[in-house]
Every structure is written in structure tokens, then in C-alpha cells.
Amino acid sequence: MSTGKIENAESKAMILLLGLRRGGKSSICKVLFHNMQPLDTLYLESTSNPTMEHFSTLIDLAVMELPGQLNYFEPSYDSERLFKSVGGLVYVIDSQDEYMNAITNLAMIIEYAYKVNPNINIEVLIHKVDGLSEDFKVDAQRDIMQRTGEELLELGLDGVQVSFYLTSIFDHSIYEAFSRIVQKLIPELSYLENMLDNLIQHSKIEKAFLFDINSKIYVSTDSSPVDIQMYEVCAEFVDVTIDLFDLYKDSQQNEQKDKNSKAVHNRPRELKNVSQLGNDVIIYLKQMIRGLALVAVIRPNGADPESCLTVADYNVDILKKGLEEIWANARIHPKESS
Amino acid sequence: MSTNNRKKLLLMGRSGSGKSSMRSIIFSNYSAFDTRRLGATIDVEHSHRRFLGNMTLNLWDCGGQDVFMENYFTKQKDHIFQMVQVLIHVFDVESQEVMKDIEIFTRALKQLKNYSPDAKIFVLLHKMDLVQLDKREELFQLMMKKLQETSSEYGFPELVGFPTSIWDESLYKAWSQIVCSLIPNMAIYQANLKELQSVMDACEIILFERSTFLVISSSNATNGESLDPKRFEKISNIMKNFKQSCTKLKSGFKTLVINDNIYVSELSSNMVCFIVLNNSDDCQQMVLENIKKAKQFFQ
């Protein structure tokens, strides 16, 4: 692998994805960033070279996957520079396999990473929990947390913050976990959260997410607790919108061309989708900047849904302007992409 | 049979021909891939589906192993073949024993003639994806000719057949047409839909049944070449998934508007319309008002 690549990604927004072999690292990447069907990941081949996934939302993020059989402490390998350049380290533990080895391996990696780069975020995915029963999940998590703590204590590293997530690629838990991991790397997160808080206070919104349209990871949400079901509904709503829109996109474009052949080319409309449900709940999606979309669940609670929507539209427009401003100021040299 | 709104559909065919797969895909949201997990059907599996509000589809999925088959034609014959509205007979195109398949078909026809002579007969030549592309049409014609002869012998002269496969939209199309044949006032719906299309200046309007999301009718029966040929099936899938995710918010689906251009709305208690406008600058209120006004014509 080229070390030049790492230096190019000058920001700290890179995540290292590590774990023992056959832990499910490539599957996670494929499902998250390539919309692969979870069942198809059964046929993935073993990864033998470090691979990078670039993923650009509000921040430019790169996820680097390291093969499991790699020995990071081989002197020839430039792991010091690598660990210094990343913002987060995600370690995948297969919960359905014997995980003692994995924990020992994890402790060694943490020791090294912490020595080189004390600011690194350490995240542990207790993966493949779809096959475990509810009780067993809790047991496994407690056990893994405890053992990791013991290992770290032995190495004299009891102060290190390690976050644990129960994940599976067959439901939305992996998206949720990655959302939280990515959020830790976004420096503007607190502003975003405040802005969304403001938005939902003033427009009868119950919950609002800023989604990355392609990966369905949410970059930010308001400060009320995230209900995983609510997240699922919103993520699926993004899918519905994109799929239906794509079906008729071509015919629409032809139409537009016929009509506006001489006129100035209209700027492409931003995606917007509003759905009303039986009990007056409204799901609202609007495209924001840089491949992000705001998805909100609006509960009118007796008020007129039309006026609720108008207020929401107005407020969302202001939010969008706010995002644009934050984005303009956040980058010293923005790469004009929108 | 006009007073009786319970429609009994017999789904028959020999073991392994794909009957339960069909049922699971159309009525239980399985993906084609998921059907691998289905086991053999033991005896008859009943499923009830409310369709278009006042109609109930009673689907009798008859297990196709010879032991059960023998039973249907002897001991259970009055139970199985009474009051049948529709017989859907499935043939596996890859089957080695075509003559035996046809023989079972004739035995079913014989019983039907006795117990419910008004039944409609549909045959599905299933697993078409396993046949080479250029041979499909020929094979289908050949088989249909043979089956047509057999069925007219037993007093069912107008036999309708479809080539199907679970891996493409043909299955969905076939079932849509089978189910539509049970709806009494199709022609009225069709005419009303055309009318609505011209009023709204729509690019396309599709009418879906609400619970199964099968296509009842579409305004672009002939001139929809520029559009995705699989769109009905895709929309149906997308909307079914969306409806399921709506249940997580403890609610049912009502309307959906994308970019002021695609409108999906309930039309009556059992129909959903999917409207794509030519012109996305129309005022949203006006479009919704039009849909509201149209509702009375689709009750």
C-alpha cells in the first residue's frame, strides 16, 4: 500500500477497520457503502490487501480495511504513521466465534494505537449478533466488555475510552453504530445538533435526521434519544424516495429536454418527498447540501397538516442556508463540489 | 356467483413446480431468493386474502406430491373441487414427465367439470428462465396448443396461459391478470382511468389493489415503451416495503408526493393510485383536489 495516500487525506477523518480474519469487515464495507444485499456478502473472498473506501458527506471520510491476517507489528510495516493519521479505530469481534483471541489482539492494538496517537477513538463492534438470542446478546456484550477491561488493566491502560456496539448486517444496527462512529469525527457536530434542535422545536417535528443518501448513515440528529425503529423508518423512506424517483427520472428528463431545448437549462430540482400516514403523521424528506438529506417525522397533534408543512418548509430552508454557511466556513480550502 | 364474494382459487401442479414460491412472492413479500427456504407443502395450505374490499381470495395451495395428488382425485374430490372459481395449474417447463403432468391436469379438469363447470382455467408455464431465450416462444406455443386441445375436450374451451418465472416480472404480470379477471367492472375502471389521465395531464396513472399491490389497471397500456417495463412490479415492491415500514410508526399509508411530480394516494378503501405528471409545476393543492374528486368514480 502507498503511504502517500494517507498523507493526502490530511484531515483526521479516516477510520481504520480491523479485526481477526473472517470477522465480517469486508461485508460491513460492502453493505454500508455499496448497498450490497447482506446475503450476497456470504460469497465475498478473503481480503488480502488494505483497501480504502472513500465516502464523502459533510466531511470527507475514508474507511481503510486491513486484512485480518496482517501482523501490524512487523517492523517493515509503517503502522506508526498509519495509526497517527487516523481519527478512529473500529475493531470487529465476531460474537458467534471464540472471541478470547480477538480480545487479546484488540488489547495489543489499543496499546499500540494509544501510544502513537492518544486522541484516537476506539470503537468495538460486537458483530454478527443477529444469530444470538436477546439474553445471549447482553451476556456476550457484558463478557466482552469485562474481559477487554481486564486485558487493558493488565497493560496499564485503564483510562482508555472504548465504546461497544452490538451490530449485525442483517438489520439497521450496523448503520446506527457507524453513524455514531462517524459523528465523533465531525468537528461541527455540536452546531449541527443545536441547529436540528432548533428546527424541531419550531416545527412540530418529533425527530429529525441528516442522512447521507448513499450509505444511509446519519451524520447528525437532534438531541432527543434515537429510537431504532424511527431510524429504520426514516432510512427506508430514503430508499423509497430514491427508488421511485429513479423509475421515472429518464422520462422526465426527456420531457424537460423537449420543452426547454431553447430555454436555459433549469437547475435540477432538489429531491423532496412528503408522505402522510393514516394517523396524520408526516414523513418529510428534503435534499440538503453534499449528498445529505433531511428526514423528519412530523406529528401535527391536531393542527392542520398543511400549515405544519408550510412552517416546516420555511424552517428547513433556513436550516439549509445554515448548513451551507457552516460548510463554507469549515473548510479553509473548499473543493467546490456542489 | 354474484352474491358469493369468496373466490376459491385452486393452485395445482406437480411437486416442485413452484406453486408455493409463487404464492409467497405475490402475497407474502418474499424475494425470489427467499423462496429457496420453502419446504414441500403438506396437503393443502389455505390462505385468505381480502382483495378490493368486498372480495376474499381463498387460495388453496395444493401440495403436489403424488400421494396427496391421488388423494385429491379420490377421497377429497368433492371437498377440493366444489365451488372453485379459478384453477391455476402450474407446469414446470423442465419436467421430465410431461405426459404425466398433462394427465394430472386432465384429471383435475374432469373433476372440475363435475363439481364447478363455471371455473376459469389458467395455466402457467413456470421456470421459463431455465429455457434458452430463443426457444421460449416456440416451447410456449407448442405446450399451449397441446393444453388447449386437452382442456376443450373437457368443456373448458377458453384456456389462458402465461409463461412465468420468479426471476422476472412475468410472474407478477400473470397474477395481476388472473386476479383482474375476477373483478367484475374492469372496463369501467379502465375508462375512468383514461378520463382521469387526460384531466390531469398525467404521463401515467397506475391503479393498484391496496393490500397486495397488484396492478389492476394502467393508463398506459399501449404507449408506455419509453418507460421501464418492470416498473409495475418495482413500484409494487417499493410500496409494499414502505407500507411495512409505516407499521413501525403504528400507522397506515395515506399519501406520498415526490417533487410535486409523483403522487401516490389512496383512491378508495381498497385501491391506490400512482400518478406521474408530465408537468411538475402544477400546484399541489390542485392536483390533490383532482384526486379527491376522482375518488367517487372508483368506489
Q: Cβ of B89 under 8 Å from any chain A Cβ?
A: no
Q: Which helix (H) or strand (E) holds B199?
A: helix B186-200
- Cβ atoms B65, B15 nearer than 8 A: yes
B81 three-state secondary structure: helix
Model confidence at A336, pLDDT cuts 50, 70, 90, reads very low
Q: What is the pLDDT of residue A11?
A: 53
Same domain, A134 and A196: no
Looking up cell 423509475, which residue turns up?
A247
Against a cut of 0.80, is the pTM above it? no
The shortest CB-CB distance from B254 to any of A247, A272, A278 is to A278
Helix boundaries (H) for chain A: 3-8, 25-34, 79-85, 100-116, 134-154, 173-183, 189-202, 228-247, 249-259, 305-330
Q: Cβ of B123 under 8 Å from any chain A Cβ?
A: no
- State the total domains in chain A: 2
- Measure A206 CA to nearest chain B CA, in Å: 12
Does a structural domain hold residue A335?
Answer: no
Does a structural domain hold residue A5?
Answer: no
Give B-chain residues touching A39 at CB under 8 angstroms. 33
Average pLDDT over all residues of chain A: 79
C-alpha A318/C-alpha B238 separation (Å) is 31
Looking up cell 426527456, which residue turns up?
A254
Q: B242–A240: do the CB atoms touch at under 8 Å?
A: yes
Q: Residue A321: which CATH number?
A: 3.30.450.190
Same domain, A112 and A223: no
- Measure A233 CA to nearest chain B CA, in Å: 5
Please state the three-class secondary structure of A258-317 as a single string: HHCCCCCCCCCCCCEEEEEECCCCEEEEEECCCCEEEEEEECCCCCCHHHHHHHHHHHHH
Does a structural domain hold residue A261?
Answer: no
Low-confidence residues in chain B, pLDDT < 50: 1-3
Q: What is the pLDDT of residue A337?
A: 39
Backbone angles phi, psi at A218, to 5 degrees: -95, 135
Nearest by Cα to A107 from A84, A94, A85, A89: A89
Give B-chain residues touching A281 at CB under 8 angstroms. 249, 251
Q: Pick the residue from chain B with its C-alpha nearest to A299.
A: B249
Q: Cβ of A44 under 8 Å from any chain B Cβ?
A: no
B219 three-state secondary structure: coil
- Measure B227 CA to nearest chain A CA, in Å: 7
pLDDT at A334 over 70: no
Judged by average pLDDT, the poorest of A44-58, A103-117, A257-271 is A257-271
Chain B contact probe: residue of A40, A205, A245, A252 with most B CBs at under 10 A: A252
C-alpha B257/C-alpha A273 separation (Å) is 6
Residues in chain B, total: 299
Q: Cβ of B28 under 8 Å from any chain A Cβ?
A: no
Q: What is the pLDDT of residue B4?
A: 60
| Residues B255-284: tens digit of each pLDDT | 899 888 889 988 887 788 898 888 777 788
- Host domain of residue A325: 189-248+268-330
Through-space distance between the first and last CA atoms of chain A, rounded to whole angstroms: 31
What cell numbers appear for A286 in the block? 428534503
C-alpha B123/C-alpha B120 separation (Å) is 10
pLDDT at A254 over 60: no
Q: What is the pLDDT of residue A295?
A: 92
Q: A233–B231: do the CB atoms touch at under 8 Å?
A: no
Same domain, A155 and A203: no
Same domain, A169 and A224: no
Same domain, A166 and A284: no
Same domain, A277 and A205: yes
What cell numbers appear for B18 in the block? 413452484
Domain boundary among A152, A185, A218: A185
Q: B238–A252: do the CB atoms touch at under 8 Å?
A: no
CATH tag, B186-295:
3.30.450.190
| Residues A297-306: tens digit of each pLDDT | 988 887 888 8
Give B-chain residues touching A245 at CB under 8 angstroms. 258-259, 262
Residue B109 CB neighbour total at 10 angstroms: 23
Does a structural domain hold residue A253?
Answer: no
Q: B258–A245: do the CB atoms touch at under 8 Å?
A: yes
- Measure B163 CA to nearest chain A CA, in Å: 25
Model confidence at A44, pLDDT cuts 50, 70, 90, reads confident
Q: What is the pLDDT of residue A263?
A: 40
Q: B252–A277: do the CB atoms touch at under 8 Å?
A: yes
Q: Residue B118 carries which side chain, given as an amino acid letter? A: D
Same domain, A29 and A76: yes
Domain boundary among A140, A170, A185: A185
* CA distances in angstroms from B244 to A58, A229, A236, A240, B253, listed in the order given: 31, 12, 10, 12, 9
Q: What is the pLDDT of residue A3?
A: 39
Q: Cβ of B292 under 8 Å from any chain A Cβ?
A: no
Most confident of A70-79, A279-288, B153-162: A279-288
Q: A233–B262: do the CB atoms touch at under 8 Å?
A: no
Q: What is the pLDDT of residue B1?
A: 41
Domain boundary among A138, A153, A185: A185
C-alpha A183/C-alpha A163 separation (Å) is 13
Give B-chain residues touching A283 at CB under 8 angstroms. 249
pLDDT at A136 over 50: yes
Q: What is the pLDDT of residue B80?
A: 85
Same domain, A179 and A212: no
C-alpha B87/C-alpha B54 separation (Å) is 21
Model confidence at A265, pLDDT cuts 50, 70, 90, reads very low
Backbone angles phi, psi at B110, to 5 degrees: -60, -45
B129 three-state secondary structure: helix
Same domain, A44 and A173: yes
Same domain, A39 and A55: yes
- Measure A313 CA to nearest chain B CA, in Å: 13
Q: Cβ of A275 under 8 Å from any chain B Cβ?
A: yes
Same domain, A106 and A165: yes
Residue A280, CA atoms < 13 Å, CB-side half-sphere: 13
Model confidence at A268, pLDDT cuts 50, 70, 90, reads low
CATH tag, B6-181:
3.40.50.300
Helix boundaries (H) for B74-135: 77-81, 98-115
Q: Which residues contact A115 (CB under 8 A, 6 or more apart)?
A: none
Q: Which residues contact A286 (CB under 8 A, 6 or more apart)?
A: A270, A271, A272, A273, A293, A294, A316, A320
Give B-chain residues touching A38 at CB under 8 angstroms. none
Residues 12-41 (A) with a CB less than 8 A from some CB of B = 39
What cell numbers appear for B5 in the block? 364474494
The shortest CB-CB distance from A273 to any of B226, B250, B257 is to B257
Q: What is the pLDDT of residue A189?
A: 83
| Residues A47-59: tens digit of each pLDDT | 777 777 777 766 6
Same domain, A64 and A120: yes
Chain B contact probe: residue of A277, A283, A307 with most B CBs at under 10 A: A277
DSSP state of A94: E
Does a structural domain hold residue A6?
Answer: no
Tell me the ipTM for this assembly. 0.75
- Measure A291 CA to nearest chain B CA, in Å: 17
Q: Residue A114: which CATH number?
A: 3.40.50.300
Average pLDDT over residues A176-189: 85
Q: Is the dihedral of CA B163, B169, B174, B175 positive or negative?
A: positive
Q: A274–B256: do the CB atoms touch at under 8 Å?
A: yes
C-alpha A70/C-alpha A107 separation (Å) is 16
Does a structural domain hold residue A262?
Answer: no
Q: Cβ of B286 under 8 Å from any chain A Cβ?
A: no
